[in-house]
């Protein structure tokens, strides 16, 4: 089954996976306080506005993940003190679904004291609090659904998301709260105090 990009919110551990038929030549890149989805060096030129973006950011004790440019304004709203539910709902509604051939939905989630997951589709805006592991995807599984995601740390989350049996995996990012009970994650460049990230680019 092809479900496109998807998010899992644990709720203490999360993951984002890029699956792509059209633009497989992409990778996740760790920045100071973000993870970016970017074309690989050998990728063909494209002017598609939807395929390079920050897919993960942290703001204090909240992490944001998502499938497009909404991640930055969601993070900015959190910085201004918006509750996560409102930051997700207002931003998803303002940016709306992507104006491409598929009306691709925007999906996003936050991990924090309370965790949330959201999607804006052509026909709906859904934002829900997450209390058990939940998945939402751009296609097919485009309503948040309970999803068994048994992982202990950010590396396992990235590996598991990458390896899930949905077609055309490209790359994945795992994120975990450091004050959650699983704290044996390897720290890397993108770690804030509150969160650890891990990247799986399939090589
Ligand atoms: N976020 C992404 O990484 C991303 N990759 C592709 N898209 C959009 O989705 C369309 C379909 O892509 P695909 O056939 O790879 O699933 C693309 O034309 C593009 O407009 C994306 N937009 C939303 O998921």
Pocket test for ligand 1, best of 100, 122, 166 (most atoms within 8 A of CB): 100
DSSP symbol at 178: T
Q: In angstroms, how far is CA 179 from the centroid of its own chain?
A: 20
Locate the ligand 1 atom nearest the alpha carbon of residue 49 and give its number: 20
Pocket of ligand 1 contains residue 173 by CB under 6 Å = no
What's the pLDDT at 33?
83
What's the pLDDT at 12?
94
Distance 58 CA to ligand 1 centre (A): 24
The 3-state secondary structure of 20-75, one letter per residue: CCCCCCEEEEECCCEEEEEECCCCCCCCCCCCCEEEEEEECCEEEEECCCCHHHHH
Pocket of ligand 1 contains residue 138 by CB under 6 Å = yes
Give the helix/strand (H/E) hosting 89: helix 84-95
Residue 77: both structure tokens together: 């709203």
Pocket of ligand 1 contains residue 51 by CB under 6 Å = yes
Q: Is residue 187 a part of any domain in this protein?
A: yes
What's the pLDDT at 181?
44
Q: Is residue 1 a part of any domain in this protein?
A: no
Q: Is residue 181 a part of any domain in this protein?
A: yes
As for how many domains the chain has, the answer is: 1
Nearest CA to ligand 1 atom 16: 20
Yes or no: say if 40 and 59 are a contact pair by the CB < 8 Å rule.
no
Locate the ligand 1 atom nearest the alpha carbon of residue 37 and give its number: 3
- Residue 192's domain comprises 6-200
Distance 113 CA to ligand 1 centre (A): 31
List the pLDDT tens digit at each of the 203 positions of the chain.
999 999 999 999 999 999 999 999 999 999 988 999 999 999 999 999 999 999 999 999 999 999 999 999 999 999 999 999 999 999 999 999 999 999 999 999 999 999 999 999 999 999 999 999 999 999 999 999 999 999 999 999 999 999 999 999 999 999 999 874 444 444 454 556 789 999 999 98
Q: Is residue 30 a part of any domain in this protein?
A: yes
The closest of 38, 14, 28 to 177, measured between CA atoms, is 14
Three-state SS at 120: strand
Q: Is residue 22 a part of any domain in this protein?
A: yes
CATH number of the domain that residue 21 is part of: 3.60.20.20
Pocket test for ligand 1, best of 6, 37, 49, 50 (most atoms within 8 A of CB): 50
Q: Is residue 139 a part of any domain in this protein?
A: yes
What distance in Å separates the CA atoms of residue 6 and residue 15, rounded to the nearest whole number? 8
Locate the ligand 1 atom nearest the alpha carbon of residue 107 and give its number: 24
**For residues 150-167, b (16+ Cβ closer than 10 Å) or e, as one string?**
ebebbbbbbbbbbebebe
What's the pLDDT at 193?
77
What distance in Å separates the CA atoms of residue 147 and residue 191, rounded to the nearest whole number? 26
What's the pLDDT at 192?
62
Pocket of ligand 1 contains residue 21 by CB under 6 Å = yes
Nearest CA to ligand 1 atom 2: 51
Residue 48: both structure tokens together: 């598609």
Give the helix/strand (H/E) hosting 79: helix 71-79
Q: Is residue 147 a part of any domain in this protein?
A: yes
Distance 26 CA to ligand 1 centre (A): 11
What distance in Å separates the CA atoms of residue 13 and residue 21, rounded to the nearest whole number? 27
Residue 54: both structure tokens together: 């920050």
End-to-end CA, the chain? 23
DSSP symbol at 82: -
């Amino acid at each position: 089954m092809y479900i496109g990009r998807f998010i899992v919110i644990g709720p203490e551990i999360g993951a984002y996976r890029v699956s792509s038929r059209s633009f497989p030549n992409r990778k996740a890149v760790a920045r100071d306080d973000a993870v970016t989805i970017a074309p690989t060096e050998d990728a063909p030129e494209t002017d598609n506005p939807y395929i390079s973006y920050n897919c993960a950011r942290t703001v204090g004790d909240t992490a944001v993940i998502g499938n497009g440019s909404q991640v930055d304004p969601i993070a900015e709203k959190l910085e201004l003190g918006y509750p996560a539910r409102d930051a997700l709902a207002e931003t998803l509604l303002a940016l709306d679904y992507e104006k491409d051939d598929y009306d691709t939905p925007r999906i996003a989630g936050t991990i924090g004291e309370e965790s949330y997951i959201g999607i804006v589709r052509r026909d709906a805006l859904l934002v829900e609090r997450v209390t058990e592991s939940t998945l939402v995807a751009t296609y097919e599984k485009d309503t948040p659904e309970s999803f068994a995601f048994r992982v202990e740390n950010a590396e396992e989350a990235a590996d598991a998301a990458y390896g899930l049996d949905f077609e055309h995996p490209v790359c994945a990012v795992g994120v975990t709260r450091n004050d959650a009970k699983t704290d044996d994650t390897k720290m890397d460049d993108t770690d804030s105090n509150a969160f650890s990230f891990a990247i799986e680019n399939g090589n």
